[in-house]
Structure 1
Amino acid sequence: MWSYLQHLTYWDWLALGTLLLILEVFGAGGYLLWIGVAAASVGVLTFVLPNMHWAIQFLLFGMLSVATAVFWWQRQRSAAKPSRQPGLNQRGQEFIGRQFPLHEAISDGRGKIRAGDTVWLVSGPDLPVGSQVRVVGQDGVLLKVEAV
């Protein structure tokens, strides 16, 4: 085994990189992707420089693995920044502060308004049909309203 590790060729590194990339497909969350890229990179370097000492190959593999993993981690962190459009993909948030007539009377704290092309369930004080209400909040698909 020791003799084998001392005489690695570019095929060995490319095979390791391919194996790690295949394992990544099964759901490693990106970790094996970058280590596989590092192994493939060492394989390419070993192809270009065939007399590279085995210790240098392992050192390069370790350094490239850490470098690519740090690159991936930083990229993931920068991608997780909050959106400049805070209400994006949050239906109902755009109605907060707007006024609508009641589509169905609020009775026992529940009623409906027509907002946009949708009829929304609302909660608030009991009011008759046609009363103007202002949307003051949202709880899931339920809009909270108050009388204007």
Structure 2
Amino acid sequence: MWSYLQQLSFWDWLAFGTLLLILEVFGAGGYLLWVGIAAAAVGVLTYLFPALPWTLQFVLFGVLSVLTAVYWWRRQRTAAKPSDQPGLNRRGSELLGRQFVLHEAINGGRGKIKAGDTLWLVSGPDLPAGSRVKVIGQDGVILRVEAAA
């Protein structure tokens, strides 16, 4: 084992980096990408400096892995900006604050409203069918309503 470590070549690092990048394809969430890039970078450095001791190679690998991961993490945080479509993929959020007529009475805290061509489950105080209600919130696919003034 020690003799193998003392004779690490750039091919070993490039193969390790390639393996990590292949594993990243199978869904590691981005982390193995940066570790794989660090391994490939150590491979390039080992090619340029063949006398690089194996201990220094491992130190470089560790430092480059951390640096690339921190760089990407910081870049992602600064690049994040508010969406220009905050309601995207939040079905029902466009109904907040709007008033509707109850399609089915609210009994035991549950009823239905019709918004466009869709029936929505609602929760709120018991009210008869035909009452006007205002959507005040959303719990998943159930809209919270109150009697409209």
Q: TM-score scaled to structure 2, two decimals?
A: 0.73
In structure 1, what is the equivalent of residue 137 of structure 2? 137
AA at the equivalent of 2:119? V
Structure 1, 128-137 or 73-82: larger mean CA deviation: 73-82
Contact 1:9/1:50 (<8 A) preserved: no
AA at the equivalent of 1:54? P
Contact 1:5/1:54 (<8 A) preserved: no
Distance in structure 2 (CA, Å) of the matches to 1:119 and 1:26: 40
- Alignment deviations for residues 88-142 of structure 1 (CA, whole Å, 9 cap, x no partner): 3222222121111222233444322111331012233444433322112223322
Shift of 1:38: 0.9
AA at the equivalent of 2:53? W
4+ aligned runs moved over 6 Å, structure 1: 79-82
In structure 1, what is the equivalent of residue 72 of structure 2? 72
In structure 2, what is the equivalent of residue 39 of structure 1? 39
Distance in structure 2 (CA, Å) of the matches to 1:135 and 1:5: 67
Counterparts of 1:6-17 in structure 2, within 5 Å, are 6-17=6-17
In structure 1, what is the equivalent of residue 147 of structure 2? 147
AA at the equivalent of 2:94? E
In structure 2, what is the equivalent of residue 54 of structure 1? 53
Closer, same or farther: CA 28–137 of 1 in aligned 2, 3 Å? closer
- Alignment deviations for residues 24-47 of structure 1 (CA, whole Å, 9 cap, x no partner): 456554433322211111212333
Shift of 1:54: 2.1
RMSD: 3.1
In structure 2, what is the equivalent of residue 123 of structure 1? 123
AA at the equivalent of 1:70? V
Structure 1, 126-135 or 77-86: larger mean CA deviation: 77-86
Matched length: 147
In structure 1, what is the equivalent of residue 93 of structure 2? 93
Contact 2:9/2:50 (<8 A) preserved: no
Identity %: 74
- Structure 2: give runs of 5+ residues left out of the alignment: none
Q: TM-score scaled to structure 1, two decimals?
A: 0.73
- Structure 1: give runs of 5+ residues left out of the alignment: none
AA at the equivalent of 2:38? A
Secondary structure of the residue that 2:138 maps to in structure 1?
strand
Distance in structure 1 (CA, Å) of the matches to 2:143 and 2:14: 57
